[in-house]
Amino acid sequence: MRISSLKPVVVILIALALSPAILAQTAGHSGIKKTASVTHTPDLNGVWANITEMAPSFNPKEDPSFQSWAEVKWKANKNDDPGQPIITNGRVDLDPTVASCFPTGMPRLMTEVFPFEIVQLRDRVLILFEKDYAVSHIWTDGRKLPEDPDLSYMGQSVGKWDGDTLVVDTIGLKDITWLDRSGHPHSDALHVTWRVRRVNHDRLQIDWAFDDPKAFTKPWTGRSIYRYHPDWTLEEFISCEDRLSHVGESLEQKAVKGQNP
Amino acid sequence: MKNKRLATLIGLIGFLLVSGPVLAHHGRSNYDVTSTATVKGVVTEFDWVNPHALIHFDVTDDNGKVEKWIAETNSPNTLSRQGWSKNTVKVGDQITLVGHRVKGGANYFNFSKITFADGRELNPAIQN
């Protein structure tokens, strides 16, 4: 009889144990678990430098197949000087960044020799570029790409995690820029998909897909590799400082015209 | 005459002595990369400027005639990581540069190696 009369008390104690008031005491544990899952997001933070085999481009698996206007532009832009590798820097006199001081823009910045720093925030991944001191904002808060974005040099980027890979989509790019250092042209319809993965402590690998029906007859792909430099900090690189100091023409440009110092 | 002077000042060392990354952040199409040359002179100014640091220097030929030259190299951000600073090259330094001359023959040079009078050598190449 005594035992049966205790049953309601036991039930009440169990109920209390499971009540929000009691659970609140364990909220810290719950929070820790959530934090732990966040830290499982791959750590891409740090300074990275381009060591891609055909770094002036994106080490393309096969040559891009161009629309006719883009083919003409590519043939003009590429540097065919003797002794040059197949993929090298484009012609400086046609390079919008070197010849005309336009911002480098995306995705070309990812082919430059200067390092960049990745900073992972709660709602986005930032890429801070040494060149031009440009910043790419890759939003990871679930937002969609804009339907008809205003065009810019850095474009609009969103990203989401697919396991250990950050999958980024970039659109809204001005067509004044080269797609890469080698001089591949692109249009304002360019859609870049990049899959960013830290393959080991020292290496970042990005698989690229370039879809631009106005410029290419079919999408093309490539892969870039970057080395981790934990002891580096970003310096400053400004493309046209000498030009501004010498009334519109650099001393190199004057020399090319035959003018001695 | 000019050719004779150039022959005195510039020794052709051969192909491929200059490493590729030297001008890697933009093209080398302004330079005669088919030949590598050596130029000696005395520094008159070191300009720590983007996109290329510039060494202004005087070259004296066998007849004692002095010509103004400019040699460009990598950018300050890259040079900083190689241990350079705005004080690495000083006015009055005697320097020997190895690199490529600008196409067209003006006194403008892009160098991949600099040697000072005390034998100190520096390589400004990007090392990613």
- Is the CB of residue A57 less than 8 Å away from at least one CB of chain B? no
Sign of the CA dihedral with A7 first, then A10, A15, and A21 last: positive
Local mean pLDDT, 10-residue blocks, chain A (261 residues): 50 45 38 48 96 91 95 93 80 91 97 97 98 97 97 98 97 98 97 98 98 98 97 92 76 87 88
Q: Does B128 map to a domain?
A: no
| Subunit contact A251:B24, Cβ cutoff 8 A | no
What's the whole-number mean pLDDT along residues B26-39? 84
Say if residue A110 is in the same domain as residue A22: no
ipTM of the complex: 0.73
In a domain, B43, yes or no: yes
- Tens of pLDDT, residues B75-105: 999 999 999 999 999 999 999 999 999 999 9
Q: Where are the beta strands (DSSP E) in A52-178?
A: 116-120, 124-129, 135-139, 156-162, 165-171
Q: In the structure encoding, which two tokens stand for residue A252, read together?
A: 């190199």
A202: closest CA of chain B, how far (Å): 12
Task: Please check whether residue B51 touches A, CB under 8 A.
Answer: yes
The token pair that represents A219 in the structure block: 């999408």
Together in a domain, A10 and A138? no
Task: Answer yes or no: do A162 and A205 share one domain.
Answer: yes
- Pick the residue from chain B with its C-alpha nearest to A111: B25
The pair of structure tokens assigned to A169 is: 């989509």
A11 and A124 together in one domain: no
Mean per-residue pLDDT, B14-26: 41
Assigned domain for B26 exists: yes
| A89 with B26: Cβ contact below 8 A | yes
Residue of A nearest to B79 (CA): A235
User: Which residue shows structure tokens 């925030």?
Assistant: A121
Domain around B24:
2-122
| Residue B118 to residues A143, B10, B95, B123, B128, Cα–Cα distance (Å) | 61, 21, 10, 16, 29
| Confidence tier at B11 by pLDDT (50, 70, 90) | very low
The whole-number pLDDT of residue A155 equals 98
User: What pLDDT score does A17 carry?
Assistant: 44
Q: CA of A195, closest CA in chain B: separation in Å? A: 22
CATH number of domain containing B80: 2.40.50.140
B49 within some domain: yes
How many structural domains compose chain B?
1
On whether residue B46 sits in a domain, the answer given is yes
Tokens representing B94 are: 């005697």
Question: What's the total number of domains in chain A?
Answer: 2
- Domain identity same for A108 and A15: no
Domain presence at residue B127: no
Q: Is residue A259 part of a domain?
A: no
Q: By residue range, what is the domain housing residue A122?
A: 46-252
Q: Is residue A260 part of a domain?
A: no
Q: Is the dihedral of CA B98, B100, B105, B109 positive or negative?
A: negative
Preferred mutation among B18, B77, B80 to probe A, highest tally of A CBs within 10 A: B77
Q: Three-state SS for A240?
A: coil
Residue B12 has pLDDT above 60, yes or no: no
